[in-house]
Amino acid sequence: MKNLHIQTQRLKIRPLLLGDLTDFYTYRSNPEICKYQGFDAMTLPECKAFILENLGKQFGNEDEWVQFGIENTSTKKLIGDCAIKLNQPKTGTAEIGITISQSEQKKGFATEVMRGVLAFLFDQLDVRRVVEIVDVENIASVKLLESIGFRREAHFREHIYFNGKWGSEYQYAMLSWEWKERIT
């Protein structure tokens, strides 16, 4: 499967490029951005290595996260990134993670990215189910998922050791038919 390119009204979701390094580093080095993420603030060499590693990945491999850049089409700047993992391509399950630069938050970009990626997964790849795991303290992400129509399926209490403490997470999911019902 080749790399994806998703166009939304204001954004382009496309492979991360070495030319994105400065923008990528700007937000990925911010500890506030990492607060609820599965990564720590990154150094410039770590950011470069991350982008180079992703350039070698092929989207569609089972259980492999592939990171894509989120470009604002009017400014041509990278404002975040989106990871997609096909958990079980044969049975049609996937997982998504989104990171938006702190300066670009509260502008509806995360919602736009999520809808664009869901349309791609459900409508073009015929994915059957998309799962999201979110820290219970990440209220903005919880609200985003619920506003798009994800269902909370589980509450994992103190099951992950993260940032020096035990954390709890919610699991959300959406089925293809639920997505199609919402958009029609």
Contacts of 87 (CB under 8 A, 6+ apart): 62, 63, 93, 94, 95, 131
**pLDDT value at position 1?**
43
pTM above 0.85, yes or no: yes
Helix (H, G, I), strand (E, B) or coil at 71: strand
C-alpha span between 115 and 24 (Å, rounded): 22
pLDDT in 10s for each residue of the chain, 184 residues: 446 789 999 999 999 999 999 999 999 999 888 888 877 889 999 999 999 999 888 888 888 899 999 999 999 999 999 999 988 767 789 999 999 999 999 999 999 999 999 999 999 988 999 999 999 999 999 999 999 999 999 999 998 887 788 989 999 999 999 999 987 6
Interhelix angle 21-28/44-55, nearest 10 degrees:
120
Q: Which two tokens stand for residue 90?
A: 């044969």
174, two tokens: 């959406």
Tell me how crowded residue 122 is: count the other CB atoms within 10 A of its CB. 23
pLDDT given at position 87: 82
SS3 percent helix, strand, coil of the chain, rounded to 5, is 35, 35, 30
Rg (CA), the chain: 16
Helix (H, G, I), strand (E, B) or coil at 47: helix
- pLDDT, residue 151, reads 97
Sequence-distant (≥ 6) Cβ neighbours of residue 131 within 8 angstroms: 87, 93, 94, 95, 171, 172, 173
Pair of tokens at residue 170: 């919610």
- What pLDDT is attached to residue 24? 96
User: What whole-number distance in Å separates Cα of residue 178 and Cα of residue 141?
Assistant: 19
Domains and their CATH numbers in the chain: 6-183 (3.40.630.30)
Provide the pLDDT for residue 85.
92
C-alpha neighbours within 13 Å on the C-beta side of residue 130: 27
